Amino acid sequence: MDQIKIGAFIQKTRKARNLTQRDLAERLGISDKTVSKWETGSGLPEVGLMLPLCEQLGISVNELLSGESLDGTQYRRRAEENMVRLVREGQDAKKLRAVCLGINAVTMFAGIALILVAGLAEIPLWLRIVLITIAVLIAAGGIALACIIDREAGVFECPVCGRQFVPTMKAYIGGMHTLRKRRLACPHCGKTSWCRRIARSE
């Protein structure tokens, strides 16, 4: 989705209704920084905020996702395009997660297999050391590759300033995390907090 176009449309419709960023933010129960983030194209509204936002701006969700006002002939075509785009984005994110899980499984299996061979087979000590070293390198390489792919699959949203960002690889690997959140320092406001992982928008 074109975040810049959507942001400009939010700003245009907000101004047309004589609302400031603070007015809109108060009506939605969010910070004006979040509204600013949307309007500058730094992020998109969360799914749970789309309907309330559209109600306040007097537009439809389809128009919001299209980034423009639509007449009757355009409406259905754009609705179908937006639906297909959202489904495709969801599928792409699932595929990337599946790839990461597959890489982790294969590398862990290969590493364990090599360690078992090195530990159980009657082989010279030097070969045993080589096999264990290879196993460790395979496991480390697989985990690193999975981290790179997983990091690129989405962005993190700072709960303090509301802006989205992709962390450095060092911060990504070193940050404590749950399935959906990771403790990171926001490059925009500098605050360290539990940032929520969201799908990357086009």
CATH for 22: 1.10.260.40
**Is residue 201 within 8 Å of residue 3, measured between CB atoms?**
yes
Q: Does 42 reside within a domain?
A: yes
The mean pLDDT value for 77-102 works out to 66
User: Per the structure block, which two tokens stand in for 52?
Assistant: 């309330």
Produce one character per residue of 120-142: b if its CB has 16 or more CB atoms within 10 Å, e if not: eeeeeeeebeebbeebeebbeeb
Q: What pLDDT is attached to residue 202? A: 38
Q: What is the pLDDT of residue 19?
A: 92
Banded pLDDT at 71 (limits 50, 70, 90): confident
Q: Is the pLDDT of residue 168 over 90?
A: no
Residue 161 three-state SS: coil
**Residue 124: strand, helix, or coil:** coil
pLDDT at 160: 85
Q: Are residues 121 and 65 in the same domain?
A: no
pLDDT at 97: 67
Domain co-membership, 158 together with 185: yes
Flag whether 83 is in a domain: no
Position 85 in a domain? no
CA nearest 184: which of 202, 200, 164?
A: 164
pLDDT at 84: 64
- Residue numbers of the domain that contains 118: 91-151
Position 15 scores a pLDDT of 94
Least confident of 73-87, 122-136, 160-174: 73-87
The number of folded domains in the chain is 3
pLDDT at 176 (0 to 100)? 87
Residue 149: which of 169, 178, 176 has the closest Cα? Answer: 169
Answer yes or no: is pLDDT of 170 > 90: no
Predicted confidence at residue 90, as pLDDT, reads 61
What's the mean per-residue pLDDT of the chain? 81
**51 in a domain, yes or no?**
yes
